[in-house]
Structure 1
């Protein structure tokens, strides 16, 4: 059996400031740091004394979360820039309203993965999945049977698509709504080699903390 715990980083400063995330290297807020501790506690409760690997996006809002988790398991963090969120190019770090005024809407039909949103330098969704799918495959080739991956909103959604074996070219309509600070549990059942989504977007561990000021677009965390 292999367990993957997919974590979306908690509240970051760009959420509070109403800025576009993407590759903008926003720090965790004070609330986000508390949420990271709650995430680590929840994972310790779920996993127990098993050996664990921790993998993370290199952006500091994800990596600092991963560091808090890794400390609880006394392991190192394996950072990988391929686990970053989708880049919004020149819009990263600018007000969400600036991007909203210039974004070219995603079409209902046609080449949705190859669609360009408008901002110069922004990644297409195809460029995103072409780096995420190989990154996950490399993680899965490692011998560890319990792994934690800390990433971002839309990136994590496509990681789930990869996990369940959805071909890249069919991922244009896949979307798993994931909120900041959530835990999603993935399981490979070795009796019939199925890839299961055991739980999606768990946030119970964040109860009684200050409400996260998440961006309205969950694909941009």
Structure 2
């Protein structure tokens, strides 16, 4: 059976500073490094000595989380820019209040995937899913039964949608709130070929950190 562990990167500096993330390349905080170590411990206990791959967004907050995990398994991180969070264009790295003043609200109906939030250079949600789905397909095509994918909150939400077979154009309303440092476990059951979400947004390993 295929096991995929989606990891949302640990606490990053932009969280603490209150600035927009997206493609702003912030690093993990000291607390974030501790969280990454705890994530690695949890996954090592679950996977044991089985062969595993670690895939990651190339942004530092994700790749630093992934590197901590990969060291535990003595493997290399395989980075892919397609696993990045959605870009907020010129808003990335600016205060959250700056973005809030300029954001064009997402409509309840209409072309929600193609909606542009306002900041110059920002990605639409359609552009996000159009790069995430093929990236995940490439990961799943590899002949390894245990894979760890480190990405970002919104991006990982769409990876879950891809896992359960939701067509790209049907993702305009789907969203799974995922906390920083969380683990979501996906399982392919080889008996009836189902794609299961067996644990969503696990965060108990972060207690007291």
2:61 paired residue number: 61
Deviation (angstroms), 1:48: 1.1
Question: In structure 2, what is the Cα distance between the partners aligned to 1:90 and 1:160?
Answer: 28
Report the 3-state secondary structure (helix = DSSP H, G, I; strand = E; otherwise coil) of the residue aligned with 2:200.
strand
1:44 paired residue number: 44
1:153 paired residue number: 153
Deviation (angstroms), 1:199: 0.3
Question: In structure 2, what is the Cα distance between the partners aligned to 1:106 and 1:10?
Answer: 27
Question: In structure 1, what is the Cα distance between the partners aligned to 2:68 and 2:7?
Answer: 12
Deviation (angstroms), 1:84: 0.2
Aligned 1:199-214 pairs, distance under 5 A: 199-209=199-209
Question: In structure 1, what is the Cα distance between the partners aligned to 2:131 and 2:22?
Answer: 15
Question: In structure 2, what is the Cα distance between the partners aligned to 1:87 and 1:109?
Answer: 23
Question: In structure 1, what is the Cα distance between the partners aligned to 2:46 and 2:6?
Answer: 13
Question: In structure 2, what is the Cα distance between the partners aligned to 1:206 and 1:59?
Answer: 22
- Counting matched residue pairs gives 209
1:99 paired residue number: 99
Report the 3-state secondary structure (helix = DSSP H, G, I; strand = E; otherwise coil) of the residue aligned with 2:7.
strand
Deviation (angstroms), 1:31: 0.4
Is the counterpart of residue 171 in structure 1 residue 176 in structure 2?
no
1:30 paired residue number: 30
Deviation (angstroms), 1:49: 1.1
Q: Give the superposed CA RMSD.
A: 0.4
1:129 paired residue number: 129
**TM-score normalised by L of structure 1:** 0.94
Aligned 1:4-23 pairs, distance under 5 A: 4-23=4-23
Question: In structure 1, what is the Cα distance between the partners aligned to 2:42 and 2:146?
Answer: 15
Aligned 1:67-86 pairs, distance under 5 A: 67-86=67-86
Deviation (angstroms), 1:46: 1.3
Deviation (angstroms), 1:151: 0.1
Question: In structure 1, what is the Cα distance between the partners aligned to 2:207 and 2:44?
Answer: 17
Deviation (angstroms), 1:77: 0.5
Question: In structure 1, what is the Cα distance between the partners aligned to 2:174 and 2:47?
Answer: 28
**TM-score normalised by L of structure 2:** 1.00
Return structure 1 stretches of 4+ with deviation > 2 angstroms.
Answer: none
Report the 3-state secondary structure (helix = DSSP H, G, I; strand = E; otherwise coil) of the residue aligned with 2:54.
strand
Report the 3-state secondary structure (helix = DSSP H, G, I; strand = E; otherwise coil) of the residue aligned with 1:166.
coil
Question: In structure 2, what is the Cα distance between the partners aligned to 1:87 and 1:121?
Answer: 8
Question: In structure 1, what is the Cα distance between the partners aligned to 2:152 and 2:188?
Answer: 22
Question: In structure 2, what is the Cα distance between the partners aligned to 1:11 and 1:145?
Answer: 28
2:114 paired residue number: 114
**Unpaired runs of at least 5, structure 2:** none
